[in-house]
Chains A and B, each alone.
Chain A
Amino acid sequence: MVNFLTNILILGVPFSVALLLAGLGEMFNQRAGVFNLGCEGIMAMGAFLAFMPPYFLAGSMPAGMANLVGILVAMAAGALMGLVFALVTVTFRAPQGIAGIGLHMLGWGTAGTLFRHFVGGVTGVPGIQTLPIPFLSGIPFLGPVLFNHNPLVYLAFLLVPAAWYLLFKTPWGLKVRSVGTYPRAADTMGINVNRVRYQALALGGAMAGLAGAYLSLAQAKMFADDLVAGRGFIAVALVYFGRWHPVGILGGALLFSLAQSLQLSIQVAGIDFPYEFAVMLPYVLVIVVLALSGKSKMASPTDLGKPYNREQRV
């Protein structure tokens, strides 16, 4: 029984990373007043682009180097897609929901098409290997659960306090929070609302790209059309779930991924439980918690989804 639970944790922690990275990025978008439903599409592009360098450069450079190149390309492409989204929704003030769905389809379709054109069928890459942390990974229970993963897992968890610091303790974080809640007030204080929104969307895009890279290089070690499988949309939901706070998003990502690993473990252990219900479990759980969680108005960026127009009369 103890083994069964430990296994759920060992499996669940790395599952949470893609959600966590994308969720933190989306948090910055939404804190700045823009929700990016295209997160899923950016992740698909990130996953595909990160997969390409290790796949093509396999012989010509060390695997670690190729992985790094892949990650950087994925993040750059993500940032670029975030900027395109900013152009459409911030500068041209298009409705964010529709623009986001468009971006999702663009990323998803482009990644799949290019993959079929350049690669074709399912092919694996060596991917990013596990890096046990000396000494710490030897601790019973905690070691395997927390300190025996690939480097991106550690990075993602370190990004939680980093995101908190950035959002609540730096001038940029202050600007992000103000433009998402009361852009006119920020404007009267001499803050360039649109510039901050562009920056936040670029950062959010880069993190979604990184999340995609994690999926193809570290989690699946391959690319396929439906690799992202709705995680981008879950990440958007997790931001609401986590009340726009890094720790809340971490909690949400862990809850979802532990439920996911629980249902896998149930199937693997051969417990007599209809697997259809097991597969539903994580999704149902998120909906239930989302419905029951507090909805204090004070945390939310109240201008979320509204384009800002300085010359509009109020």
Chain B
Amino acid sequence: MRPEPIRTLELRGITKRFPGVLACDGINLDVPEHSVLALVGENGAGKTTLMNILMGLYQPDEGSILLNGRDVKFRSPNDAFGHGIGMVHQHFMLVPNMTVVENIALGMKETHKTFGLDLKQVRRRILEISERHELPVQPDAFVWQLSVGEQQRVELVKTLCLGARFLILDEPTSELTPQETDELIVLLKKMSDELSIIFISHKLHEVKALSDTVSILRHGRMVFRGNTADHSSSDLAALMTGHEVNLPRNECGDGCGDVLLEIRDLRVRSDRGYMALDGVSLDVRAGEILGVAGVSGNGQRELADTLNGLRRAESGTVLLGGKQLLNRSPRDVIDSGMGYIPEDRNTEGIVPSFSIKENLVLKDFAAGTFSALSFLRLGTIRRNADNLKKRFDIRCPSTDTAAGSLSGGNIQKVILARELARGPKALVAVYPTRGLDMGAEEFIHNQLLERRREGVAILLISEELEEIMNLSDRIAVIYKGRILKIIPGGEATKKGLGMLMAGVMDE
């Protein structure tokens, strides 16, 4: 049974409350047929919540969904599939220890026979779809074996196999390399001839490249609707954040001091046992930001772990101000003046159940400032927290709040405050703005540049090319555990870096 075609889809007055948060506040949205609507907004603006309501995953507190003018109720994703609506979630909804065919069969109820699964039928359907839309997939591979780009294709094929002709894509490019992103955009452009697409993003150049119309959400409210072509990226950015955004740049090219952080021939094994870092050498000078660009999974995690004493290296040298730090304990590394903004802020950066003021002294609670005779000096800890809260603009009800309940941007500010207030000599920042909105990004970039002026040696690991290019004095490209090339920041181009990140070395 084919569902009737979707000519118009309207959301009327959708409101959704979570404990303590008004995620969607009376949102109206119209989606025209055969076009691409970009749904734009910062993190926490309510984009994903709104789409989860449309998919029947959340129930709205108020409001209705109208399909071809008729009121419909989606109680579960099954109902949405039934009307031909499918969604590719930001975090892939694929079961890692099942094969691609099995993952897709899960949703294809017509292949669920009494005494078995008709995997042949599923495979036929996958091949048919993947051929028609030029989306190559390996049906019998396990999902955990696939790269992020391949998983993305599987998600698209899956959604189409389930009969979606109305596609919701939730930040589909957030984990892709620049090349993969470009390919995806071309592909979606082609698919929009047959399908209607809602494209959720906060990357405005993608929105410009792909969408016909754009709707902007801010703090759960719809603040703008219009044709994409009529508005510039910077207009849209201002509408999205509510103020003019000027991401800072590293303007002063010189002024670097002596080499402070010296890494020589570092060889480190990954968790799975292969050489994740295979002879990496880098120098970071005082007052310099060295950007390490690369697709994640090329040794960045191992590099950051090893520099901070969290992973044993096979061989090599790490000198901070002339002091050997290789394979020393994290305590030694911290006491030598290393600051660390870890990749996973929720599990490595903070203790989520501890309060903000406790998280702010995690590295120093045993020092004389914050404890005496092995009792904590609670007054000093509280004053320290109040002070840092003001200085780093940490938005929280009180410093007694559990750090884990803050938004991503504010958690990152807590980490930044703790690391920078200690006055580090060197700082390792790993994906410092990943998943943050532009306001928080601006703040963090300014902080990093200010530390640079103060003479801190900063190693910035990122896969956001714009971030790397805006901030770095020099850019090192890492690929499969080796540094392919080091380029001065001023000479880097997006295209050149993208090629290097993919391992292409032609001049």
Residue numbers of A with Cβ under 8 A of B are 169-171, 174-175, 177-178, 181-182, 184-192, 298-299, 302, 310-311, 313-314
Contacts and interface: CB of A to CB of B under 8 A. Distances in A.
* Residue among B55, B78, B97, B107 with most chain A CB within 10 A: B97
Given A174-B117, A190-B78, A181 B106 contact: no
A171 B59 CA distance: 27
Contacts of B103: 178, 185
A177 B95 CA distance: 9
A188 B95 contact: no
Interface string B63-97: 00000000000001110010000010101111111
B58 interface: yes
Given A169-B117, A170-B116, A189 B106 contact: yes
B89 A188 contact: yes
Chain B interface main SS type: mixed
A175 B98 CA distance: 11
A298 B117 contact: no
B117 A185 contact: no
Interface in B13-59: 18, 49, 55, 57-59
B116 A182 contact: no
Nearest to B112: A171
Contacts, number: 77
A123 to B, nearest CB: 44
A199 B384 CA distance: 54
B107 A190 contact: yes
Contact of A178 (B55, B59, B81, B106): B106
B281 to A, nearest CB: 33
B51 to A, nearest CB: 11
A190 B117 contact: no
A186 B97 CA distance: 13
Contacts of A175: 106
A298 B143 CA distance: 10
Nearest to A311: B58
Nearest to A298: B97
B109 interface: yes
B144 interface: yes
B102 interface: yes
B98 A174 contact: yes
Contacts of B81: 190
Given A169-B116, A170-B116, A171-B112, A178 B95 contact: yes
A186 B87 contact: no
Ordered nearest first, which 9 A-B pairs have the shortest CB separation? A190-B78, A171-B112, A185-B93, A189-B107, A188-B93, A182-B95, A189-B106, A178-B95, A190-B77
Contacts of B92: 185
Nearest to B76: A190
Contacts of B98: 174, 177-178, 181
Given A177-B95, A313-B18, A188 B87 contact: yes
A234 to B, nearest CB: 26
A182 B117 CA distance: 20
A180 to B, nearest CB: 9
Contacts of A311: 18, 58-59
B115 A170 contact: yes
A299 B77 contact: no
B370 interface: no
Contacts of B117: 169-171, 174
Among A170, A175, A185, A189, the one with the most B-chain Cβ atoms within 10 Å of its Cβ is: A189
Question: Which of B49, B93, B111, B112 has the most chain A CB atoms closer than 10 A to its own CB?
Answer: B93
B105 interface: yes
B15 to A, nearest CB: 15
B96 A298 contact: yes
Nearest to B97: A298
30 contacts: A169-B117, A171-B105, A171-B112, A171-B117, A174-B98, A174-B105, A174-B106, A178-B103, A181-B95, A182-B94, A184-B93, A185-B92, A185-B93, A185-B95, A186-B95, A186-B106, A188-B77, A188-B89, A189-B93, A190-B77, A190-B81, A190-B107, A190-B109, A192-B76, A298-B97, A298-B142, A302-B96, A311-B18, A311-B58, A313-B49
Contacts of A181: 95-98
B170 to A, nearest CB: 11
A178 B92 CA distance: 14
Given A171-B112, A171-B117, A187 B96 contact: no
A188 B112 contact: no
Contacts of A186: 95, 106
B205 interface: no
Which of A169, A298, A313 has the most C-beta atoms of chain B within 10 angstroms of its own C-beta? Answer: A313
B113 interface: yes
Contacts of A190: 76-78, 81, 107, 109
A314 B91 CA distance: 10
Contacts of B87: 188
Nearest to B56: A190
Nearest to B86: A188
A174 B102 contact: yes
B282 to A, nearest CB: 32
Nearest to A299: B97
A313 B55 CA distance: 15
Interface in B349-384: none
B116 A189 contact: no
A313 B98 CA distance: 25
A185 B92 CA distance: 8
Nearest to B90: A314
